Amino acid sequence: MTTDRVTTDRVTTETKVELSINGRRHVVGVEPRHTLGDVLREQLGLTGTHLGCEHGVCGACTVLVDGEPTRSCLVFAVQMDQTEITTIEGLAAADGTLHPVQEAFSACHGLQCGFCTPGFVLTAVHLLATNPAPDRATIRRELSGNLCRCTGYVGIISAVERAAVERAAVERAAVERAVTNAAAVAASAADEPSSPRH
């Protein structure tokens, strides 16, 4: 399981960890000191997770670990054994169709250079999962753990607001569809001659 490697003066061991990333299982050998962010980027080629400070302040490296927003620069990959991780690469559909939050970021110009964007999008996805209808002030507070240097935040706040509204609309439509379907089923059931089942 472990192999020894000589660095300048200390011997470190490599450990195997099993990570489920965006629904796919990966077994990787890591040194204990390798942060999750570095392992995603350097070993797994998932370079969508960005490192803006490596000391927990900028939020660019945020990923979801078992659904919770987590600074991937502040956890070590060895600690993440057997967890489910969602990175920015895991949001869009396989055909490239954007996730509604990504879509809203594009529509509202919630990104410029795009470096902070993965962290913002994942934080926003989590926010909307826990608070489906935040107002702008709430969004501002809840996203304050992520720094963006380009946008002045206006487009980002609008994007999250829009994603919430559109999600609500989609859900309303789904509920309405379900209600209509149920009514239709009920109606057709009523129309059908009752067949004895027993």
Partner 1 sequence: MKSAPFDYHRATSVDDAVAVLTASDGEAKVIAGGQSLVPLLSMRMAQPTVLVDLNGLAELRSDRPTVTDGRARFGSMTRHAQLAIQTHHGLAAEMAGWIGHTAIRTRGTLGGSLAHADPNAECPALALACDAALSVQGADGVRTIPAAEFFAGMLQTALADDEILTVIDLAVPRRWGFAELARRHGDFALVLATVTELADGWRVVVGGVEGTPVRLADAEAALSSDASTDEVGRTVEESIVAYDDLHATSRYRRAMAAELVRRAVDQARRTQGEAS
Partner 2 sequence: MVASLDQSTTTAGPIGTSPRRKEDHRLLTGRGRFVSDLQLPRMRHVAFVRSTYAHARIVSIDCNELDPIDHPVFTALSPGFEVGLFAQSALPGYVETEQPPLARGKTRFAGEAIAAVVADDRYQAEDAAEGVVVDYEPLPVTVRAWDEPQHPVHDAALDNVLLARTFSAGDVDAALAAAAVVVRREVVTNRHGGNPMEGRAGVALWEGSARDGHLTFWSGTQIPHLVRNLLAELLELPESNVRVIAPDVGGGFGTKAVLYPEDLALCLMARSLPGTPLKWVEDRAEHLAAATAARDHRYELEAGFDAEGHLVGIRGEAWCNVGAYSVYPWTAGIEALMAGGLLTGPYKVENYRCSVRGVATNTAPSGPYRGVARPATVYAMECLLDSGARALGMDSIDIRRVNLIGPDDVPYRLPTRLIDDTGHYAECLDACIERLGLDELRAEQARRRAEGGKPIGIGLACYNELTGLGRAASAGPRMPFRTGHEACTVRINPDGKVVVLSGVTSQGQGLETTLAQVVAEAVGVNYDDVEVRYGDTDQSLWGFGAFSSRQAVIAGGAANLAAVDVRESALRLAAELYEASPDDLRLENGSFYVAGSPEAVGTLADAARVAYLESNRLPPGFEPGLDATRFYDPVMGAFAAGVQVAAIELDPSTGEITILRWVCVEDAGRVVHPQIVDGQIAGSLAQGIGGAQYEHLVYDDEGNLRTGTLLDYLMPTSAEIPEFEIGHIERPADNPLGVRGVGEGGTLGPAAVLASAVADAVGIDIDQLPLTPERLWLALEDQR
Ligand X SMILES: Cc1cc2nc3c(=O)[nH]c(=O)nc-3n(C[C@H](O)[C@H](O)[C@H](O)COP(=O)(O)OP(=O)(O)OC[C@H]3O[C@@H](n4cnc5c(N)ncnc54)[C@H](O)[C@@H]3O)c2cc1C
Binding stretches for ligand X (CB under 6 A): 56-57
Q: Are 120 and 142 in contact (CB under 8 A)?
A: no
Q: Of 96, 81, 105, 86, which Cα lies nearest the Cα of 18?
A: 81
Identify which of residues 97 and 144 has a Cβ nearer to partner 1 in the complex.
144
Q: Of 119, 120, 118, which Cα lies nearest the Cα of 155?
A: 120
The residues that touch partner 1, with contacts defined as CB under 8 A, are 7, 10-13, 15, 31-33, 35, 38, 54-56, 59, 62, 68-71, 73-76, 78-79, 123, 126-127, 141-142, 144-146
Identify which of residues 119 and 155 has a Cβ nearer to partner 1 in the complex.
119
* 19 interacts with ligand FES by CB under 6 A: no
CB atoms within 10 A of CB 49: 25
* 111 interacts with ligand FES by CB under 6 A: yes
Minimum distance of partner 2 from residue 67's CB (angstroms):
19
Minimum distance of ligand FES from residue 147's CB (angstroms):
7
Residues between 46 and 105 with contacts to ligand FES, criterion CB under 6 A: 51-54, 56-61, 71, 73
Reported residue count of the chain is 198
Question: In the structure encoding, which two tokens stand for residue 41, read together?
Answer: 């980027």
Which DSSP symbol is given to 97?
P
Residues between 131 and 160 with contacts to ligand FES, criterion CB under 6 A: 148-151
Report the distance separating Cα 106 and Cα 177, nearest Å: 28
Report the distance separating Cα 95 and Cα 119, nearest Å: 22
Minimum distance of ligand X from residue 60's CB (angstroms):
12
Minimum distance of ligand FES from residue 140's CB (angstroms):
15
Q: 1 CB contacts (<8 Å, ≥6 apart)?
A: 15, 16
Tracing tokens 């999008």 back to the chain, one arrives at 121
Minimum distance of partner 2 from residue 176's CB (angstroms):
15
Report the distance separating Cα 195 and Cα 198, nearest Å: 9
Identify which of residues 28 and 98 has a Cβ nearer to partner 2 in the complex.
98
Site residues for ligand FES per CB under 6 A: 51-54, 56-61, 71, 73, 111-117, 148-151
